Structure 1
Amino acid sequence: FFISLLVIFFMPFADNDFGWHYRCGSQILQGRGVCHGGEFLYFLSDYHWANPNFLYDILSTIVFNLFGFWGLSFLGSLLLTLIITLIYRSNSANIFIKIVLIYVAIFSSWSVLSLGLRSQLLSLLFGALTFYLLETKTTVSFKKIIWLIPLFGVWANTHGSFFLGPLIFAIYLAGQWLGFLRKKVLLKTAGITSAVFGLAILATLLNPFNYHIYEEIYRHWQMPLNTLIAEWVPPSLWPAIIITVLTGFFVIYTVIKDKIDFFTTTVLVSATFFALKARRNLPLFYFYYLYLVLKNINFAIDKKYGRYLAYFLTGAIVLGLIFWAPQKIKNTISFSTDLASYCSKGYVQYPCQATEFFKKFAATSQKSLNVFNTYEWGGFLVWQLPEHKIFIDGRMPAWSGEAGQSPYTTWLEIIQARSGWDKKLASYGTNCLFIGNGTFLDLLLQEQAEEYGYQEIYRDKLAVIWLKS
């Protein structure tokens, strides 16, 4: 079963943010400090971003330097399998039930999990570890919860969703004090929990940006990312209905069975809120819901039939591995070792031929150019064109740019050739455009390039490069 999970999650690494993660990781390993925001950009080049990703940057950079993209694919597979393992080991439900429900949770979250390794996976893992360490009721295992202090410290230096740790712990702490008021929890228990909570919060401040990482979370929530970025869009109607119904079912079940618990119910409602707010949070909901269902609902199966079902499931998994796993592994390794596949078969197509042309062209001028680029190519170009500055990459939609609007909105206004686009690019000091073939801006320049002072120097089916005269 666990081998099947490793194979399922061994997916091509195609994160279009990899480039800036890699540049930031390389910068740290070279002793030049963590990234502060606009190092690779000419637009908002002095912007300071309290980005708590630097441990992920280091990890992904080391793995890539040692093993390439297939190493990152395996790292993503290992992380997700570890998360599932924690859920699997958290209860004593029938093996058949556990495995089937785990596959269902994976399927329900596949629109996000299929994207492969991203720093968000570490938040999912750290969230699972938080639940594991808080897995007590009226008594506190000090030896377990003390580990939340270093865990939160690491989490706060790994991914922006670190705030989920303090949120989960705060809900747990509130439950402890409610239990004390109802005389179900000892004062000593609530006191120890409070002390550990305070130390865990202090641990999150041990990062290069100190308390500013909390300010960044606030700014992040102020940006209307659900109107800008696909993964921040709420789930469609039917998935939203399913999530709501599942939440309602569990709450009603625990009330009827007199198993209602403040901590688990409040965290479930919180996970439901995050999942309904953005589809990128679907794994958070489904994995936590899976944990709650396996922990609280008794799936009684006759031992004899349970044994037969386990044999059947084992056989099905083995057959699947025999006939499907080799091709799956081959495809992932092929994608990871063949640049042509990497450029053309990911969920974002990269302008590799145009990039090679640009490198040769720019080498003749021997100077750094300011490149207005397609948003989805930002990370790739940051990685491939380190001598030059680009306009935008995947970090920037949540930033506060000109007049408080998202830099993504500014980019959108330019790529759509809205009124004043040329004046904006001129004011930023743009030297050339590296954009998609057939975009509004490209179509306009095909007709009026001379009027706006641009010259086409490269074009293929995917990309076009316009040089400012």
Structure 2
Amino acid sequence: MKIINNKNRFQRTELFVKVSVTLIIFFIALRVPFDTDFFWHLNAGKVSFEQQSVLLSDFFSFTKYGTPWVNHSWLSQIIFYIIYRMFSYPGIMVLVALVATATMSLIYKSMKGNSFVKAFLIILAVLISAVVWSPRPQIFSLLCFAILFRFVKKFDDSLKKKYLVYIIILFLFWSNLHAGFTLGIAFLTLFVLGKIFDFSESKQRTEVESKKIKYLLFLILICSLVVIINPNGIETWKVQFDTVSMKSLQNQIDEWASPDFHKLEQQPFLWIWLIITFFAFSTSSNLLFQEILPIIFFGSLGFLAKRNFAPFAIVIFPTLAKLTLLFFEQKIRNVRFFDKLKLSANKANLTPKQNIQIIINLFFVSIIGLAIFGKIFVLSNTLVLKSYEKKLFPADAMDYLTENGLPDGNVLNSYAWGGYMNWKIPELLVFVDGRTDLFGEKIIRDWTAMVSAKSGYDRLINEYNIKWIFLENDNPIVEELIQKGWATNFKDDLCVILSK
């Protein structure tokens, strides 16, 4: 009877921790749904939805107007637009929080060990991953990656072929949601290479392991082909490599820059490396190559660009949980101090009675639930949303243009605000927005030269027939053009509009 009671108590604790952690993650993931890239994604989703065909050419800029555009995120964009159309910004906020929570929950399920240790580790995973929790297609890509990781582990444990079918279907959807499917192919490849190394080093080479390797190699081939089934065809493979090969990415886009560990919010990535290094050296871990290779690869990507923190979290934390459990088994369990502490706790009978424990658990969960509803209520308030919009985007300047009309000629606009400007005033064709893969190295380089007032910038202004600018106040070109007699149409603390 005592064993049954202990088992029930353990199950209640597991459930309580799991529910609490899930709700806490959801609470953390609830944010005002504004992102510089969100608006051009929303605009593209609107066009695709209204014309009932995928938008595959540019209609938002004058520099690339009418040219083909590899719109690899078309399905995500339509999802965003439908949610926005039905529920406006609060709907987008809840959607992003749900996807982020589902991703973290899959990581939690992939970990083994004590529920409280897993809860601590998943909070660390949240600290690493939260940097990319924004209303953009990559949020769906991270969910797909977490699902892939789960399915691969399930197949590896059971050899059930149904998981291979699930993975193929997953890649079919993934390649239409976001070009990040290449991370999935990379993970599969590294996992199989690791299994091959493990198999070659093993003294007991079983037929089962040999079959797994053959099936997974075939799976990589099928998945590499199935991703072509989308409106972009083979181009969906090319766009990812075209994007990462652009030298201007790290200079212009913060998420593509390497992490700055002097900033507290970026340090958890480094903490995890230190923790896993400590556990790896302090235990006889004998990690498999199928675990090591993905960790090294995605960890290296994290050092190159902050946007890769989240994929790293997906592959590292199940292994980190395994090492934590091993460290406890080998180093902590037999320490006399902890034995005495455990014995004292058992004698004191600190565990509350069943009914009291249930009431405490429900009370705690209810508090988190109320906090979630309170946060949704506050962040959904129109005044709060407008306040954030004015803080992050040139809302007043756009109101000015709406009331007074657009100046004649082409505009040199902020890279960060291009999508927002075109969303607010569809007839306003911008110089550039967040679609670096569309604009390419030359246009981004020319844009940088102009806004920085580098030598020859005036030649570029004439070449692109720039008649007015819409930029942040601190850009060097602003003072240069004012000195040359350009008129100040609008100016506030955030931006300035000048016309020739």
Match of 2:285 in 1: 257
What's the CA shift for 1:375?
1.5
1:8: how far off? 1.6
The answer as to whether partners of 1:176 and 1:185 remain within 8 angstroms in 2 is no
Q: TM-score, normalised by structure 1?
A: 0.85
- Kindly report the root-mean-square deviation, in angstroms, between the aligned alpha carbons of the 2 structures: 3.2
Map 1:111-190 → 2, pairs under 5 A:
112-113=131-132, 116-135=134-153, 136-137=155-156, 140-178=159-197, 183-186=205-208, 187-190=210-213
Match of residue 259, structure 2, among 226, 232, 235 = 235
1:90 corresponds to 2:110: yes
Letter in 1 for 2:378: N
Q: CA deviation at 1:179?
A: 5.6
% identical equivalent positions: 24
Alignment correspondent of 2:294: 267
Separation (CA, whole Å) in 1 of partners of 2:368 and 2:194:
44
Change (3 A) 1:307 1:388: farther
Q: Note the C-alpha offset of 1:337.
A: 6.2
Q: 2-side partners of 1:99 and 1:445: how far apart? A: 55
CA shift, 1:386, in A, is 0.5
Name the CA distance, whole Å, in 2 between partners of 1:250 and 1:382.
51
**Which has the larger Rg?**
2
> Residue 84 of structure 1 aligns to which amino acid in structure 2?
M
Q: How does 1:366-445 map to 2 (within 5 A)?
A: 370-396=410-436, 398=437, 401=440, 405=441, 407-445=443-481
**Residue 139 (structure 1) shift:** 5.5
Pairs within 5 Å for 1:23-422:
23-31=43-51, 33-36=53-56, 38-45=58-65, 47-110=67-130, 112-113=131-132, 116-135=134-153, 136-137=155-156, 140-178=159-197, 183-186=205-208, 187-224=210-247, 225-237=249-261, 239=267, 241-249=270-278, 251-252=280-281, 256-258=284-286, 260-295=287-322, 297-298=324-325, 299=328, 318=365, 321=368, 324-325=371-372, 327-334=374-381, 338=384, 340-345=386-391, 349-362=392-405, 370-396=410-436, 398=437, 401=440, 405=441, 407-422=443-458
Distance in 2 (CA, whole Å) between partners of 1:307 and 1:276 is 45
Letter in 1 for 2:447: W
Q: Which has the higher helix share?
A: 2
Q: How far does residue 379 in structure 1 lie from its aligned partner after superposition?
A: 1.4
Q: How many residues align?
A: 449
Q: Which amino acid in 1 is paired with 2:274?
A: V
Residue in 1 aligned with 2:11?
A: none
Unaligned 5+ segments in structure 1 are none
Name the aligned partner's letter for residue 143 of structure 2.
Answer: L
Write the letter of the residue equivalent to 2:428. H
User: 3-state DSSP class of the match of 1:418?
Assistant: coil
C-alpha distance in structure 1 between counterparts of 2:122 and 2:385, whole Å: 34
Contact 1:370 1:388 in 2 (8 A): no
Q: Which TM-score applies when normalising by structure 2?
A: 0.80
Letter matched to residue 127 of structure 1? F
Q: Distance in 2 between matches of 1:340 and 1:307?
A: 50
Cα drift, residue 52 of structure 1 = 1.1
CA deviation vs aligned residue, 1:425-461 (integer Å, no higher than 9, x gap) = 2222333212223432221222222xxxx43322333
Could you list the runs of 4 or more consecutive aligned residues of structure 1 that deviate by over 6 angstroms after TM superposition? 300-307, 309-313
CA distance in 1 between counterparts of 2:44 and 2:186 reads 28
Instruction: Give 5+ residue unaligned stretches, structure 2.
Output: 1-19, 334-341
Quote the offset at 1:96 in angstroms.
1.6
Counterpart Cα distance in 1 of 2:383 and 2:106: 32
User: Structure 1 residues 337, 253: CA separation in 2 closer, same or farther (over 3 Å shift)?
Assistant: farther
User: Structure 1 residues 37, 412: closer, same or farther in 2, change over 3 A?
Assistant: farther
Quick one: distance in 2 between partners of 1:103 and 1:316? 21
